[in-house]
Homo-oligomer: A and B are copies of this chain.
Amino acid sequence: MALPLLSSADAVEEAFYDAMRRGDLQAMMALWSDEEEVICIHPGGPRLVGLDAVRASWESILSAGAVQIEMAGVRATTGAMLCVHNVIERIRMPGRPPSEGVQCIATNVYVKGPRGWRMLIHHAAQTEQTDAPVVPPSGAVLH
């Protein structure tokens, strides 16, 4: 497969979630850096280090079908060679209503290499709430 031109971290991120939604392992793996030691942490899972471990995990996940995932609330910090996005992920479970979906928060790190931007770290973790409420719920005390 011809590697896509990934001229920004935004482009990698869009392609990353698109590959999940399409269940496309080849497209997914084309997005990861092959220059640096990549890290992937699926929600609740161990730290996977290196392309072989990361590929095996995605092969397992995507062999079960496409992932119904939407991203929201991206907060980005961009450097010359590194870019960090913090992202809300909303995942629908097959056959269940959207209200029973799962929410995760992901920190995605991108690195610029000789062939453009690639994914370096994907760290996703499940959460009850994605963003803290502006007004804390009554009954909650800070200390």
Q: A-side interface residues toward B, CB under 8 Å?
A: 20, 36-37, 39, 41-49, 53, 56-57, 59-61, 63-64, 67, 69, 73, 75, 77, 79-84, 86, 88, 91, 102, 104-105, 107, 109, 111, 120-121, 123-133, 136, 140-143
Are A141 and B57 in contact, with the CB atoms below 8 A? yes
Are A79 and B77 in contact, with the CB atoms below 8 A? no
Are B126 and A107 in contact, with the CB atoms below 8 A? no
Partner of A53, one of B20, B88, B132: B132
Compute how far the CA of A48 lies from the CA of B104 in the bound complex, rounded to whole angstroms. Answer: 14
Compute how far the CA of A34 lies from the CA of B75 in the bound complex, rounded to whole angstroms. Answer: 16
Residues of B within 8 A of A42 (CB): 141-143
Compute how far the CA of A142 lies from the CA of B91 in the bound complex, rounded to whole angstroms. Answer: 9
Are A88 and B20 in contact, with the CB atoms below 8 A? no
Residues of B within 8 A of A69 (CB): 143
Are A109 and B111 in contact, with the CB atoms below 8 A? no
